[in-house]
Copies of this chain bind each other. A is one copy, B any other.
Amino acid sequence: MPRSPQTETAVLGALSVQPMTGYALRAAIVETLGHFWHESFGQIYPALARAEAAGHVRRATAGRTSGQAFELTDEGRERLRDLLREPADPTPPRNGLLLRLFFGAAIGPDDCLAMVREAGERAAGAAERLDALHAEVLDETDPGAPYRALTVEYGRAIARAQRDWAERAAAVLDGLRD
């Protein structure tokens, strides 16, 4: 039974853009929030049910044949503003790659090199995708667009930093092979 305010924020936030079914909500979170946020499937419906009980969300009466879109109520919009203003609780860091690399001497440079190269490729791919996404966002003109652009720029900056580090790290590890 998940009940973190962070999940609530994501759910209400996504519904603030447009009313959706739970199913569509999940897809929206994966697609548009995916590069910096994640909700597992089993969290969406309970979160929606709680939001409905709290009066933050209601089932839209609009004539849908299957499924019922949820829409934010005025209280929900208020609640979202409150949640957004709350300080983000920082996720404790857990970087599996660095954990392995830190003790890398135990397995030698070859295995480490493979890991670093793979991470570098993932980062390079992410950087490219975010470049494309950035170009898209810049074309949008609604009031939310500049904010969304900032999040894309963040992701891109991090992805580039990872990619460049991986390249340097690979060179160092290659030098350790001899």
> What residue in chain B is nearest A40 (Cβ atoms)?
B92
Question: Which of B85, B101, B176 is A107 in contact with, Cβ under 8 Å?
Answer: B85
A39 to chain B, nearest CB (A): 9
List of B residues within 8 angstroms of A88 by Cβ = 95-97, 99-100, 115
Binding site secondary structure of chain A: helix
A102 engages B169 (CB within 8 Å): no
Per-position contact with B for A48-62: 1 when CB-CB < 8 Å, else 0? 000000000000000
Interface residues of A (CB under 8 A from B): 6, 9-10, 13, 16, 33, 35-38, 77, 80-81, 84-85, 87-107, 111-112, 115, 143-144, 146-148, 150-151, 153-155, 157-158, 160-162, 164-165, 168-169, 172-173, 176
Question: Which of B38, B84, B158, B169 is A94 in contact with, Cβ under 8 Å?
Answer: B38
